[in-house]
């Protein structure tokens, strides 16, 4: 209550994790705006080269990842009700997953736009970068390209945790394709012979 401008002062902006930790709720505009304000305060007051995020946006909220019954379900239902053209269904797990991804997408897009506008105005070159977990999606590792040269893929030749969904909900490929981020440094820590995510398979996909 002493820090009214901090969204963490409002319990409605908090999601409790399965380990009894807490995160700011990524679907809240006041949360998005606050984090952008913090980033811009750093950029405006310090000679930094970049704003860099690790892989955590959403966290695991329940042990069994029962997405429909987790604490942001009311926010999800409110979103559906407040957007008359929304095609999401209240009890559809895949729809809620996509809603969470779009919440993170909105944050990355809005931060990127704010930073680019600042850079243009003040002749700065502060970059925005992300270090996601190493696996975007699991697949067969094969890649083709559309007429615009955009890579089409169903994921790397891996069988590990995917940050596209799991509980992180990071659509890093979209951020790259849309040029919302300036660089990506995936966490490719595995050995070449790792049975779940071999280093070469992961690196080849990102390349």
Give the tens place of pLDDT for each residue, 110-131: 999 999 999 999 999 999 999 9
Give the containing element (helix H, strand E) for 153: strand 151-153
- Two tokens, residue 97: 């997953």
| 3 state DSSP class of 172 | helix
Report the largest interatomic distance among the alpha carbons of the chain, rounded to a whole angstrom. 55
CA neighbor of 185 nearest in space, from 140, 129, 136, 139? 129
pLDDT score recorded for residue 1? 57
- Two tokens, residue 112: 């990127």
Contact criterion met (CB below 8 Å) for 61 and 18? yes
pLDDT band for 82, please (50, 70, 90 cuts). very high
Q: Please compute the mean of the pLDDT values over residues 29-33 and round it to a whole number.
A: 96
CA distance 195 to 193: 6
Relative to beta strand 143-145, strand 151-153 is: antiparallel
pTM metric for this prediction: 0.94
pLDDT tens-digit series, residues 153-175: 889 999 999 999 899 999 999 99
pLDDT score recorded for residue 105? 98
Q: Does position 2 have pLDDT exceeding 90, yes or no?
A: no
Sequence-ordered alpha helix ranges (H) in 83-141: 93-122
pLDDT tens-digit series, residues 38-72: 999 999 999 999 999 998 899 999 999 999 999 99
CA distance 97 to 21: 21
pLDDT score recorded for residue 151? 82
Q: Please compute the mean of the pLDDT values over residues 87-115 and round it to a whole number.
A: 97
CA neighbor of 117 nearest in space, from 172, 109, 29? 109
CA distance 21 to 14: 10
């Amino acid at each position: 209550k002493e820090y009214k401008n901090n969204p963490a002062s409002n319990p409605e902006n908090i999601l409790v994790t399965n380990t009894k930790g807490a995160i700011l709720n990524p679907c809240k505009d006041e949360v998005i705006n606050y984090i952008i304000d913090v980033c811009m305060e750093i950029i405006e007051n310090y000679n930094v080269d970049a704003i860099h995020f690790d892989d955590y946006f959403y966290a695991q909220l329940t042990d069994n990842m029962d997405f429909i019954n987790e604490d942001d379900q009311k926010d999800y239902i409110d979103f559906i009700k407040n957007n008359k053209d929304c095609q999401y269904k209240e009890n559809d797990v895949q729809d809620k997953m996509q809603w969470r991804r779009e919440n993170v997408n909105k944050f990355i897009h809005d931060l990127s736009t704010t930073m680019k506008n600042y850079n243009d105005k003040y002749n700065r070159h502060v970059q925005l970068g992300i270090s996601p977990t190493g696996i975007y999606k699991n697949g067969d590792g094969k890649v083709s390209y559309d007429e615009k040269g955009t890579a089409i893929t169903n994921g790397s030749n891996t069988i590990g945790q995917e940050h596209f969904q799991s509980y992180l909900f990071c659509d890093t490929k979209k951020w790259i394709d849309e040029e919302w981020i300036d660089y990506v440094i995936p966490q490719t820590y595995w050995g070449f012979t790792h049975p779940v995510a071999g280093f070469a398979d992961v690196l080849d996909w990102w390349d």
